[in-house]
Amino acid sequence: MEAGQGAMGGGAASPTTSVRPGTGGSYNKRKRSGAEFESSPGSGGDDNEDEGERRRQPGVKRACNECRQQKLRCDVIQDPFTTCSRCNRLKLECKIESNFKRVGKRSKHAEMEKQIERLRQSLQRAQAMGYVIEDEEELDSPMANGVYSRNNQSFMGSDEAVSSLLHLKQGGSYNMPRIAREIENVGLTEDAINHLFNEFWCYYHPYLPFLSPQQTPDQYYQQHPLLFWTIIAVAARRYTADPGLLTSLIGPITRLLWTTVGEVPSSHYVVKALCLLCTWPLPTSTTSTDPTHILCGVMMKTATGIGLHRPSHTQDFSRVSVELNKEQLHDRVTTWAVCNIVAQSIGTGYGQPASTLYDWTLAIRPGDDGPFVLSPELEARLQIERFCDKVSKEMYSNATDPRGVAGDELRAMLTRVYRREYNELQVSIMSRQDLSAIVNLHLKAAGLHLRLSAFFDSSTTPGYMDDLMGLWRAVLAFLDLVFELESPTADNMSGNILRFASNYILQMINAACFALLKLLSSFFSREIEFERGRILFHRTIQAIRSMSVINNDLPWRLAELMVQMWNGARVEQRSRQQQMSNNGNGNGQDARAVIDDSLQLKVRCRMSMSLVFDSIWRWREEFQAQGRGNLEGQLSPFPPWCVRSEKQAYAYSIAAMKNPTNPDSAAESSASSTHMDATLMPPAHQLQNHLLAAAGAVTPNHGLPSSSMISGSVGYSESNYEVFDPLNWMLDGLVDFPYSYAAIQGLEANGMG
């Protein structure tokens, strides 16, 4: 009786004893009944068993899974649960599972050998089917070029698995490069990180020199992960070791960015990351998905929210007392200055009001040598951007005008005032010997920003022709400097600055290119060197294409659009006709007196960038007026009469997909205003446009828009004025096409080619 009670008591108190529901103590009874063959009822066997259970119960200890697998002593504590020292040291997951079973190494190795044999057989069958393995062909390693994508290469390929496992079996070692930093499915080795940071310091840092090259990548990561990965993304724009790295980073960095913004950042290192992202935005193919203008506002509000504009009184914006040393104070002053430089360049480049704040912190203090003094590069850039701010606010912020534009007389007076101020600024900056050529490039861009206001003048404005001539000279000065810096020289051994230029420089190049197109196709072409302008326009098209970082991004699509507008305008043919007319009649001087309002803008709410949006709107309006135009005549390398079937159209499109549109092609044929050289056609991502024409999605009934889309004679209906995104409408509706090249390859394989 006592033995039975002891057994029941022990079963109730033991934490390791399990009783199945509905069976009561039958399980223990069956165990005891099995022992009756070895001990009699009076032998005390049950008593001994109960005594053993009682002795084990107070000190019950179980090792964690990892220690049990290795048969090692474990010091895990279950209540309260404390990780064992071994798992803590090796960064292992320390846990205890009742159903854990050890895995035998011998069986695991045997299974690996079986897998090797299966892979060998698969490889032999592939070779028997004609698959040839070239010895010099490099196998794609999951750590190729130091970049590891868990999404695309989660496991090694079969060939790599065979070679690595055989190497292990023969006593060798297979050392996988260690991933130093990882964001979602993209990992980087230490060598790749160092290479990317070196790329950033060499090529991108000169455009915005406010970070410290002396700091290590780990220090930037500790400051904030967003700052670290933003530097990586900027450097990956031209990373030849792995051209697909930027595309892989777009999604993870975008999610990290908005997660950081959603958590209301309180670190000025996040502000630094936003400065970089606004200067070199992640690539996009449409203006409607470009968040740069929004991020600029977030950048400025975050900066003022944490007191960067009052760096010496940071405690007024913090819950705790903050004391900054001289170096920390200078870092915050520099960051605040860069915020204003970036915000002003975004306002100018996007044609929007700039959210700048030029306050006491950024005031120039001659002779001062304190933490509020900026480096010569940043001080010069700040002076230039403050000049651009004056031009934008005075000329395009008129409260009495519904579009905010100053009147003709006031604008003419302001142009004279700011022209004088610009000359003084140019003398002041160019007299310094410690400034880079990039500062001069931004100075020329500021001069172009000032002179683009000439397109707002009417033909009756006093000094109208002088303003147009000033614009022509500003365009030449800016573009000539661009190509001078692009060409290798003794001072600039590498050249190729456009490959690493900021988005603001790209936008000003776009504005200069549209200004050339507009001036060369107007009455003003008689007053300028037409051939020089034509050559410069063609070089600018190539420059814009060279600034493209991925296929079908916004720079490439804009370059294609400008070529189509040039070919549609047929400005060279018009220029020759005008010259022949003047030479034949002998009244060239009288012809120069014919001045019209064809250069005036209809889109006038985008400040100096109104020219860009106005040109695109005119192109769109005439294209829509002609039944959306003749895409086949515009984009096909062959005239419509030689395309007899859809099969031929597909074949022509596929054959001509490798090269961009040729802006010279308009002068090569008199039969079509848009004849394209068959050897100079759009690349792979432009193939979609050929298919659009070939498939009959748009019925070709008319030719391309004539010069009226540039000169301004096209009807411009205010009812059709959609302010949401004219650039995106045009590019998404006409230049892009929702078919992938892989689908076209399938058509070609099926005999359509």
How confident is the model over 503-510, as a mean pLDDT?
Answer: 96
Cα 681 from Cα 687, distance rounded (Å): 9
Who wins on pLDDT, 369 or 325?
A: 325
When mean pLDDT is compared across 110-124, 409-423, 465-479, the lowest value belongs to: 110-124
Angle at CA of residue 751, ends 749 and 753, nearest 5°? 85
Who wins on pLDDT, 342 or 649?
A: 342
Cα 230 from Cα 112, distance rounded (Å): 41
When mean pLDDT is compared across 102-116, 291-305, 414-428, 543-557, the lowest value belongs to: 102-116
Please determine, for residue 640, whether its predicted confidence score (pLDDT) is greater than 60.
no
- Helices within 80-176 (DSSP H only): 85-90, 105-128, 158-169
Please determine, for residue 376, whether its predicted confidence score (pLDDT) is greater than 50.
yes
Return the closest-CA partner of residue 706 out of 631, 622, 636: 622
Assigned architecture for domain 62-113: Irregular (4.10)
Cα 296 from Cα 299, distance rounded (Å): 5
The conformation of residue 35, written as its DSSP 8-state character, comes to G
Partners of 78 in the β-ladder: 81
Q: Is the peptide bond before 80 cis (omega within 30 degrees of 0)?
A: yes
Distance of CA 513 to the CA centre of its chain: 23
Look at residue 187 and give its three-state secondary structure.
strand
Cα 276 from Cα 338, distance rounded (Å): 10
When mean pLDDT is compared across 342-346, 454-458, 589-593, the lowest value belongs to: 589-593
Q: Which residues contact 178 (CB under 8 A, 6 or more apart)?
A: 189, 190
Who wins on pLDDT, 715 or 169?
A: 169
When mean pLDDT is compared across 87-96, 149-158, 202-211, the lowest value belongs to: 149-158
pLDDT of residue 189: 93
How confident is the model over 640-661, as a mean pLDDT?
Answer: 42
Cα 244 from Cα 238, distance rounded (Å): 10
Quick: pLDDT tens for 223-241. Answer: 999 999 999 999 999 999 9
Please determine, for residue 358, whether its predicted confidence score (pLDDT) is greater than 60.
yes
Cα 593 from Cα 526, distance rounded (Å): 10
pLDDT of residue 370: 77
**Identity of residue 133:** I
Count other Cβ atoms within 10 Å, centred on residue 614. Answer: 22
Quick: pLDDT tens for 421-441. Answer: 999 999 999 999 889 999 999
Say if residues 726 and 616 touch (Cβ distance below 8 Å). yes
Distance of CA 12 to the CA centre of its chain: 65
Look at residue 176 and give its three-state secondary structure.
coil
Q: What is 316-341 written as a DSSP string?
A: GGSSS-----HHHHHHHHHHHHHHHH
pLDDT of residue 618: 86
Q: Which residues contact 150 (CB under 8 A, 6 or more apart)?
A: 185, 186, 187
* pLDDT more than 70, % of the chain: 63
pLDDT of residue 220: 96
**Identity of residue 498:** L
Please determine, for residue 116, whether its predicted confidence score (pLDDT) is greater than 50.
yes
As a whole number, the mean pLDDT across the chain is: 74
Q: How confident is the model at residue 398 (pLDDT cuts 50, 70, 90)?
A: confident
The conformation of residue 711, written as its DSSP 8-state character, comes to H
Say if residues 622 and 362 touch (Cβ distance below 8 Å). no
Q: How confident is the model at residue 583 (pLDDT cuts 50, 70, 90)?
A: low
How confident is the model over 57-76, as a mean pLDDT?
Answer: 79
Place of tokens 């700039």: 354
Q: How confident is the model at residue 481 (pLDDT cuts 50, 70, 90)?
A: very high
How confident is the model over 693-714, as a mean pLDDT?
Answer: 36
Q: What is 218-254 written as a DSSP string?
A: HHHHHH-HHHHHHHHHHHGGG-TT-TTHHHHHHHHHH
Place of tokens 């409408």: 729
Return the closest-CA partner of residue 512 out of 565, 445, 558: 445
Who wins on pLDDT, 109 or 535?
A: 535
Quick: pLDDT tens for 239-270. Answer: 999 999 999 999 999 999 999 999 999 999 99
Can you read off the two tokens belonging to residue 255?
Answer: 């999610």
pLDDT of residue 567: 82
Residues in the chain: 753
Who wins on pLDDT, 26 or 528?
A: 528
Who wins on pLDDT, 201 or 573?
A: 201
Quick: pLDDT tens for 267-286. Answer: 999 999 999 999 999 998 88
Can you read off the two tokens belonging to residue 477?
Answer: 């000065």
pLDDT of residue 469: 95
pLDDT of residue 60: 54
Please determine, for residue 461, whether its predicted confidence score (pLDDT) is greater than 90.
no
Please determine, for residue 685, whether its predicted confidence score (pLDDT) is greater than 90.
no
Return the closest-CA partner of residue 467 out of 421, 420, 415: 415
Cα 13 from Cα 53, distance rounded (Å): 10
- Most distant pair of Cα atoms in the chain: their distance: 140
Please determine, for residue 553, whether its predicted confidence score (pLDDT) is greater than 80.
yes
Q: What is 511-551 written as a DSSP string?
A: HHHHHHHHHHTSGGGGGS-HHHHHHHHHHHHHHHHHT--ST
Cα 4 from Cα 15, distance rounded (Å): 19
How confident is the model over 79-103, as a mean pLDDT?
Answer: 87
Who wins on pLDDT, 452 or 658?
A: 452
How confident is the model over 650-677, as a mean pLDDT?
Answer: 42
How confident is the model over 175-181, as a mean pLDDT?
Answer: 78
Q: How confident is the model at residue 650 (pLDDT cuts 50, 70, 90)?
A: very low
